[in-house]
Structure 1
């Protein structure tokens, strides 16, 4: 088992759940790990072979990867993926803001260290959309600022896995 593979699997699982990664992303990741690991875990082989499976099936397979995770680092990896999605297509901004809102509501983004901004960012988009306050451009800037402040600059590997 390679260091950090559970961490990466969990970040992919959350990203697929929230719509910011695809089954193909998980398969490609598993294939890279299998090539690099002389004795890959069976869970990785299952992921590698599940390219035609549903996102729900892949989420289950990713959950089965053994190891420990640092939840904060996983969430920072997911936020980095969301930032890349925003950079690739700003039209997805409100969807990303709404995903942040639900991640916060579901307890995935604890107050410390992620703050309350996910709630307010979704509100900024809603108010701009109906013309009550602010503009969409201001909302996108606020979203981008939040993601830059909280996203991992590179995939996180727990200290004890190095």
Structure 2
């Protein structure tokens, strides 16, 4: 869990039935659900996913048990924020059992940034080489002399 906290944007504890066991304020921030509309204990984690297909993939993902010498896999899905906007994330999973053999899951959530828009181009790109010569400047209303 400590490693997931160091790498991921949020860590969520789930019961064996994939409902939220422990509230995660950082998940609320990621999904824009701070305040009264936060993710509640008992809420179904798969219902936080944007697409029905992702819900099935998630259920399969948490059922897979890696071999002891393997690193756990990851799953790329989209979660749904409070505005119903898809948020691309990468999920990490580990699980544990309590003394009564009840299974619990720990899910690390890392925003993957697929939805981040590229930075806009600068208004005046740097001009180098032959383009810097006055004869190569194209007249436009912005650079014409009145």
Instruction: Give 1 or 2 for the bigger CA radius of gyration.
Output: 2
Give TM-score, length-normalised by structure 1: 0.26
Give TM-score, length-normalised by structure 2: 0.28
The structure where helix makes up a greater share of residues is 1
The structure where strand makes up a greater share of residues is 2
Higher RCO, 1 vs 2 (CA within 8 Å, ≥6 residues apart): 1
